[in-house]
Each structure stands twice: as C-alpha cells, then as structure tokens.
Structure 1
Amino acid sequence: MDGMNTTHMNGTTAPPPPHHHKMMMMHMTFFWGTKAEILFSGWPGTRTGMYALAIVFVFVLCVLVEWISHSRLLPPAKPGVAAGILRSLLHAVRMGLAYLAMLALMSFNGGVFLAAVAGHAVGFLVFSKPEEAGGPYAWKAASDLPPMSC
C-alpha cells in the first residue's frame, strides 16, 4: 500500500482519510487577545496566566537588550584580537536576543508589541548615560558596543 490511496475490497480506491490536525490561525495583522502563539508552537496557548508570563518574558528580554547595549561588561583592555573577539561575542549575544524579541513581535499580538516597546523604553531609561547624548561616537566612553541601528 502506498499510503496515498486506500484500496477497498471491491477494487475502488479512495483518498486517505483527512488528518485532524489542530491548526492555529496565524495572524497577519495586529490583534488583541490572550490566545496567541509566541516563539514556540503552542506557547503560551489559551491560558491567561501563561500569556501574562509570555508578556513578562518579552518585556525582560527587551530590557536585557538595552542593558547589554548600554553597559560596560568587558574590562578596559588594550585593542587586540582577544578584545575584538570578546566584543564580537557580546555583539552576537545582543543581536541574538534582539532577534528573539523580533520573532516574538511577529506573533502580531498587541500585548507583545506593547511589552517590547515598554521593555526597550524602560531599559533605555534605566541604563542610558548622559554622555551618550554627545554625538554618534560617544558610545566608546559609555559602553562596550556601538548603538544598534536600523
């Protein structure tokens, strides 16, 4: 049997029985509601508590991106290969977290969008330094990495 058609005793063939997969509709516009799918299949599902946890996760994720963007995590070192590799790894972590936040936003859920914007705003408010207003190259004095740009 080829798995595509079913042969009956009288010699006729019929298409395979339909599979009853539970498909969740993917939104292509913003929507409001707690029934969303964010980052992983089936998460947070239909439970309001899990949706609230997902919103908190996105908020913290965005605050973390801002913290990495505005902090000095690496010890001051002379320019060299090792310092360049450490900065590259730190940049990779920051970009990975930023892309994870972007993927969460692709759920098109309004609550996730507001949590991401609020997380970035709170993170910027808490972690930015006054000297960062000094121009495009002031980041060298304030953090390990240059500011993210679109």
Structure 2
Amino acid sequence: MMALKTTSHHNLGAVPPPAVETNPATTNNAGKTVVHKTLYWGHDAQVLFTGWPSTNSAMYALAVIFVFVLAVFVEWLTYLNFMKESADNVLTVVLQTAIHAVRTGLNYMVILSVMSFNGGIFLAAVGGHAVGFVLFRARAKRKAKSDSPKPNGPLTF
C-alpha cells in the first residue's frame, strides 16, 4: 500500500522575511527597530524614503521644506480651475481626471510624510496646507466676487 505524504501547513516553502536594515534614525542602542507611536521632536526621522533624511540636520531641514511646499502645491491643485465648467469634451474630462489623480497622489505623499510621527514634519504639512488655503482660497473668492454682477443698492459685505 502507498503511504500518503502529508505537508505541514507551517512550512510551505515560504521565503524567510527580509533582513531588517539598521538605520540610525529608526534603531535604538540595542539595534532594534523603533516605531514611534506618538509625535516626537528631533531631526532623526525617516520621511518617505529609507534613510532620508537620516540624522543629517541639513537634510531634515530640506525634508521639512519639501513637505511644506508639497502641501502648498496640493492646495494649489485643489483650487486650480482653468477650464470652464460647461466644457464637456473628452479632452477636458481627461485633463481634469489627470489633475485629480496627481493631486490625490501628492496628498498621499503628504500623509505618508506625517506618518513619520515627527513633530516638525507634521507642522510643515499643516502649515503648508494652511498657507495654500489662504493664498488660493482668497484668490478664488476674489475672482468669484469680480465675476458676479454688482448689486444696485448699498454696499454689502
């Protein structure tokens, strides 16, 4: 009689997990990976890419500026309206869809940056969104006011 060969479900030829890279920004003195669960303050962060900005203060400043500018750019894309709403041709729809996709992707990059749990990066993201909102929302409101017909009565605010 033929014996049945059984395979354990615990070892199905799985590939072992990848080796953990040791990065000074994410490891403690014992060499174990540290995952921050609360906001922390310091320039030893890892934002968007492995090893960036690491422990270099100048690169951390660049990361903060990058996240700030990225958040302002996302707000600009939010209020970007260079096409008439009545245009329904295919090219307009494709262009609006492309702008929406780029804005969404950049928004997720800002979110991933904030997930570094670094306080400076968090403040840069919030500040960038706030500055962009003030700059571009105010411009959009001024344009809407100038496009609306003027009333024939007392001044209204």
With normalisation by structure 2, the TM-score equals: 0.66
Structure 1 counterpart SS, 2:87: coil
Gaps of 5+ in 1: 1-18, 133-137, 142-150
Residues 87-126 of structure 1 deviation map (CA, whole Å, 9 limit, x = unaligned): 1000001001100000001000010000000000000111
Structure number with bigger Rg? 2
The unaligned stretches of length 5 or more in structure 2 are 1-18, 27-33, 148-157
1:42 matched to 2:45: no
SS at match of 1:26: coil
CA contact (8 A) 2:72 2:129 kept: yes
Shift of 1:39: 0.3
Q: Provide the residue aligned with 2:72 in structure 1.
A: 63
| CA gap 1:68/1:28 in 2 versus in 1, 3 angstroms | same
Residue 122 of structure 1 pairs with residue 131 of structure 2:
yes
In the TM superposition, 1:1-150 aligns within 5 A as 21-23=21-23, 24=26, 25-72=34-81, 74-76=82-84, 78-129=87-138
User: Relative contact order: is structure 1 or structure 2 higher (C-alpha 8 Å, sep ≥ 6)?
Assistant: 1
Structure 1 residue 21, shift from structure 2 partner:
4.7
How much does 1:42 deviate?
A: 0.5
Compared CA separation, residues 131 and 62, structure 1 to 2 (3 A): closer
CA distance in 2, matches of 1:21, 1:79: 51
Q: TM-score scaled to structure 1, two decimals? A: 0.69
Give secondary structure in 2 for the equivalent of 1:52: helix
Shift of 1:85: 0.9
